[in-house]
Amino acid sequence: MRAELVRIGNSRGIRIPKPIIEHCGFGGTVELRVENDCLIVAPHRLPRQGWEETFRAAVSAEADELLLETVPPNQFDRDEWKW
């Protein structure tokens, strides 16, 4: 797709068609960055956005087990410690 640069004061801008805005999930704010002489426009996301849901989906609480409970005790565990 080709877009014309339009004057906005001393700057220039582009108009992004509504279907592209919806497809990319753009809200009121976007992130801009330059990579290899290309302008990248990405949806604005908060740091670590979605991490909690991803962690919850990765492993259920039923599958959690302590790894040390599966290892039999050794001499280090049997020795009495003095503090």
3-state secondary structure of 82: coil
Question: Does residue 37 or residue 65 have the better pLDDT?
Answer: 37
Q: Is the dihedral of CA 61, 67, 68, 73 positive or negative?
A: positive
Contact 6, 13 (CB under 8 A): yes
Q: Is residue 10 part of a domain?
A: no
| Residue 40, domain extent | 19-71
Burial of 26 (0-12, 13-18, 19+ CB in 10 A): middle
Give CA–CA dist 70/28, Å, rounded: 51
pLDDT in tens, 5-43: 999 999 999 999 999 999 999 999 999 999 999 999 999
Q: Is residue 82 part of a domain?
A: no
Q: Is residue 42 part of a domain?
A: yes
When divided into structural domains, the chain yields a total of 1
